[in-house]
Structures are given as structure tokens and as C-alpha cells.
A = this chain, B = another copy of it.
Amino acid sequence: MSAQKFEKRRAKVIRQFRQHEVDGLLVTNEKNVSYLTGFSGEDSYLLLNKKQAVLLSDSRFTTQIEEECPDLKTCIRGPRQNMSGMISQLVNQSETSNLAIESSSMTVQALEGLKSVLKNTHLKPVSEMVENIRLIKDREEISKIKEAVVQAERGFESMKASLIGTDTELQVAHQLEHWMRRFGASGNSFSPIIAVGERSALPHARPTYGLISGSGFLLVDWGADHESGYKSDLTRMIVTGKVSSKLEKVYRLVLKANEKAIQAVRAGVRCCDVDSVARKIIENGGYGKKFGHGLGHGLGLDVHEGPRVGPTSETVLEPGMIITIEPGIYLPGWGGVRIEDDILVTKEGYEVLSSIPKGWDTVRIGI
């Protein structure tokens, strides 16, 4: 990406300074640093004020910074200088009197350390100054998330094609990551959920040594981490055994909720109203109390980011937001069904980024 793009992003942050009554921001959240500079390493901060942007890092990253953000002013600290010392030097030079810090990522200890060296600067905890901008994805971000979706989907299809009944949940998890890497992913975007039978009723089940043929179906919730850091997040069901009428009924209901909610996505609509479309369908089907989580969430450099798509989220959808739509029904002791897609909000409506078939007739496999 061009240096101008990052400069524009930083300008959007700076425009929020007045509202927060600050004249600078210390960006410490790694994803936010990356978003505002293009630098993908760790342990590095961005000091931003109206005059300049300075990346603070150490000698491990000198080469990487030259490659990733050659136009950015950089301070590399020596082995005997600590980060606080470098920050205080720069802040004092820049005459920043009210410096915002990112309260949702900075630890109490780090803030105490900063306060002890920045005696003439007021440190003001703020949140979401960068996250607010990250809500809307630009063309390059969208294209990377699309690639992350393709990596996840090709990985899933390859894993599914090669399943055998003696595979365990853990083996499937490992195979899935292996295949996604083959298609270019750095790895999982989160620890995948591979949950057979009644384990699929646990929203955060971890893969076990249980056989995937141990029950009639399994839930797979997974995603790819693109090398740029952008993520995908999908859920599909796989039916391996005899089809029960209960499974078919629950599946078709969740699918309807998924499809109708996707069709409700459009710029100008509130997130809670999209959630409500899915929730009403599941309620009318008699499973209202068995859909215990929000409908979805934003997706980007973090696999969970804004906007929240839940019953109380008043956020209005805007073109360029990318969200998951993932209704589910969970019946303890029996199992759960969830179907999740990644959706781009457009001016006219929506674009479904994911494409793995989800019709009831596509879910059964012979193993």
C-alpha cells in the first residue's frame, strides 16, 4: 500500500484530537500501529501529533521497517534505552501537553511507567480512536479479506474431501490449518472449533480426541489468517451419519435465519435490525431461547472487531463494513447448528464474500 494511504488514515485520527481535547496519541495496540503505518512487527509504538508521526521500535526491526514503511520517521532505541525513555524524549521535544493513550490495550503497569517519566504531560485514556476508522474497509483491505476467505474455503474443501471416519476432532483441526497454509494462509485466524455431535452445543468447544464419526454430524468454525494480517471467519456443518428429522429441521431453520439476515444487510440499516431478522425466524421456529449469542461481528485485522451485530447494537451499517452473519441453535445434550458467512456492506445492499455451498442437500458426506 502507498505511503499516502497511511498518511490519510493518520489524518483521520488527528481530526479526532479536538473532540478528545488532546494534541497527540500514543498508539500501542499492535494492530492499530500496523493499520496506521504498514509496519507488521511487534513491540513498536506510534507517536502521533499534529506535526509528525514517529514509529518507535528497536534494532530487531530496523530492516523490516525500511522495507515496510521507508517514508516514516522512525526512532530505533539502543539496547540500553527503554521504551519509556524514548517516548518521554520525543513527547518532550514535541511539546505535547495532552497525550491520549489507548486505554483498551495499555496495561496499568505501562501507564504507571509512562506517568513516571512524563511529568509535564497529561495522559488521557481514550478508546476506539483508531478502531472507529478501521470499521470501514477500503478496496485493498476488502481484497485481502476476500483472499483470506478463499484460503479458508479452499482449505475447508480440501480437508472435507479427505476426511475419514477414524479422524479425530484434533486431526481435523490440524488438517484444516495445514490445507489453509497450502493456499497461502499464515495459519488459523483463531483456534478452530471442530465439534462432533453434542459438543457442537458448546459455543467454544475445543477439539478433542473424539472421532468425527462418533455422532451423526459436526460443526466446523474456522478462518484463515492472511499474511497481511486480515482474517476470515466461517462456520459450516458436515453431516457424516444418518440424517435425523430433528437435525434437518434445526438446520433448515438456521439456514433460513442466515439467508434472510444476509438479505437484510444494507447501508443505513442498524445492526440490531439485522440481528432481529434472524432472531425472529428462530423464535417463530420455537428455538428463541436456544440462540444465546449475537448474530455477528465485524472482521478485519482482528477476527472480532466492530461493529457488534447484536440485539442491542444501534450502529448503522455503512458501505465498506465487513461483518459475519452467524445464527445458531444450541440444544445441550444433543448438539448445535451454526452457519456463518462473511458479508461486505455496499451502498446498494451486500456482497457475500463466502461461497461454500450451505444448502441442506450439500452438507452430507460419505466417510
A contact residues vs B (CB 8 Å cutoff): 41-42, 59-61, 63, 79, 101, 103-109, 111-112, 125, 127, 170, 174, 178, 181, 202-204, 292
**Interchain CA distance A247-B116 in the complex, whole Å:** 46
A41: chain B residues at CB < 8 Å are 204
One of B42, B63, B107 near A108 (C-beta < 8 A): B107
Contact A108 B125 (CB under 8 A): yes
Q: Are B103 and A112 in contact (CB under 8 A)?
A: yes
- Report the minimum CB–CB distance from A168 to chain B (whole Å): 11
Q: Which residues of B contact A104 (CB under 8 A)?
A: 107-109
CB of A367, distance to nearest CB on chain B (Å): 21
Which chain B residue has the least Cβ–Cβ distance from A113? Answer: B103
**For A181, what are the chain B residues with a Cβ–Cβ distance below 8 Å?**
170, 174
Cβ-defined contact, B109 with A60, below 8 A: no
Q: Which of B60, B105, B170, B204 is in CB contact (< 8 Å) with A204?
A: B60
Q: Are A107 and B112 in contact (CB under 8 A)?
A: no
Contacts of A109 in B (CB 8 A): 103-104, 125, 127
Candidate in A79, A107, A127 with the most chain B CB atoms within 10 angstroms: A107
* Distance, CA A182 to CA B60, complexed state (A): 33
Q: Is the beta-carbon distance between B106 and A203 smaller than 8 angstroms?
A: no
B63 x A202 contact (CB < 8 A)? yes
A203 to B111, CA, bound (A): 28
In the bound complex, what is the Cα–Cα distance between A184 and B366 (angstroms)? 28
Looking at the assembled complex, report how far the CB atom of A271 sits from the nearest CB atom of chain B, in whole angstroms.
18
Residues of chain B within 8 A of A127, CB atoms compared: 109
The 4 A-B pairs with the shortest beta carbon distances in the complex, nearest first, are A103-B109, A103-B108, A104-B109, A108-B125
Q: List 30 interface pairs A-B (beta carbons < 8 Å), by A numbering.
A: A41-B204, A42-B204, A59-B292, A60-B203, A60-B204, A61-B204, A63-B202, A79-B292, A101-B108, A103-B107, A103-B108, A103-B109, A103-B112, A104-B107, A104-B108, A104-B109, A105-B107, A106-B107, A106-B108, A107-B107, A108-B108, A108-B111, A108-B125, A109-B125, A109-B127, A112-B125, A170-B181, A174-B178, A174-B181, A178-B178
CB distance from A313 to the nearest CB of B (A): 15
A151 to B145, alpha carbons, bound, how many Å? 34
Chain B residues with Cβ under 8 A from A101's Cβ?
A: 108
Which chain B positions have C-beta within 8 A of A105? 107
Q: Give the distance in Å from the alpha carbon of A60 to the alpha carbon of B181 in the complex.
A: 30
- Most chain B Cβ neighbours within 10 Å, of A63, A109, A178: A109
Docked Cα-Cα span, A202 to B62, in Å, equals: 10
Residues of B contacting A125 with CB < 8 Å? 108-109, 112
